[in-house]
Amino acid sequence: MVLRQKAYEDRVGVRTGAGGVRMPTAIAVTSPELVLPSPDRHTPTAAVLQGVAQSPKTSAARTASSLDDALTEMHTLIEHHGHVIVLCPASAPPAVPHRLHAIRSVLESDRIAIVRSDLPPLGLSVLALQLRQLSICDFSPGVLACAARLLSHYIYAGALLGSVAKLDRVPVSLRSHTKSWVPGAQFAVLAAPRPELVKLGGEALPAGPGFSTKLLYAAGQLAPDWVVDTLAPAWNAQGCADVELPADSPRWWATGKVVEFAAAIPDISVLYQLVSSVRREDCHWCGLELIGDRCAFCAAPMPPAAPEPAVHALPRGGT
């Protein structure tokens, strides 16, 4: 068993601290619905920031108390994990990112990365799970936080909908809006990585991934048969699993007649190779490692590459 554990850690580059104790960067989310079950005993769970969300009707005294709780919660995460990566949906009420930035400001901490994502709820849950898987690897906090943007391009997130009449997160034609009023009409909608809408009834399907994935689906007020029996085989999904529908999904998709789905890379070794293949740089502002064109912790963009020195022709007779 010890040899098997060591082989696993060597394969994915597990990061260890003093005395061999792993100190993974904390992955935090703003809602418990964004925490999928761990696929194995190695993958840590996500921290749910209970003190982040607040109602506009919350009293001033309760708001202050909630902020104190949130500060304590975040301070504890930083003390235990060193750095914290918070996944925050772009669709969250403005109070949520405002509270997160307030926490970072009050704590005067540069060890909190606030990563906004346009992924729908189930897709964001999958992204959080992938970051949790990679958090035990030998990636620095800066690289791990920047990996969220990279991995988002490899998550195929969408939904089977009974209506697109009120959908405003994916472009919907007037013709599709009109067809929404036909009884029994259903639509397959892809939100990421590229928006696409297909009316069921013909042979057309949303464009799927060209790599091996596992498909998760969460049923609302529609049966998931089409997702399981048609979409999963067409996308060559290597597995299919039912999960609970996130509470925010009906609002995100503008209907309760929904089966949300997300196809993504499940293998940690493939995820590790994907992130490892990207060139790393040091942030010129905070000094953390990063991949891509912007630091996820301080938001500083990568400076433009210095122009190569001009090559001048030697004068005649020169050497």
Q: Residue 87 CB: number of other CB atoms within 10 A?
A: 24
pLDDT at 171: 79
Do the domains spanning 8-152+271-290 and 156-264 agree at the CATH topology level?
no
Asked if pLDDT for residue 214 goes beyond 50, the answer is yes
What CATH number should be reported for the domain whose range is 156-264?
Answer: 3.30.1180
Q: Which fold has domain 8-152+271-290?
A: Rossmann fold (3.40.50)
Asked if pLDDT for residue 7 goes beyond 50, the answer is no
What mean pLDDT comes out for the span 99-116? 96
304: Cβ contacts below 8 Å, ≥ 6 apart:
none
CA dist 269 → 14, 65, 89, 190, 272 (Å): 11, 43, 27, 27, 5
Percentage above 70 pLDDT, the chain: 81
Compute CA 88 distance to the chain's CA centroid, rounded to the nearest angstrom: 9
Asked if pLDDT for residue 286 goes beyond 90, the answer is yes
To 10 degrees, the CA torsion angle through 29, 18, 79, 287? -80
Total-model pTM: 0.87
| 49-86: pLDDT as tens digits | 988 865 444 444 445 568 899 999 999 999 999 999 99
CA proximity to 110, closest of 318, 287, 278: 287
Asked if pLDDT for residue 165 goes beyond 50, the answer is yes
Domain ranges for the chain, please list them.
8-152+271-290, 156-264
What mean pLDDT comes out for the span 261-283? 97
User: 51-55, 178-182, 291-295: which range is least confident on average?
Assistant: 178-182
| 196-206: pLDDT as tens digits | 999 998 888 99
Name the pLDDT band for 19 (thresholds 50, 70, 90): very low
Asked if pLDDT for residue 319 goes beyond 60, the answer is no
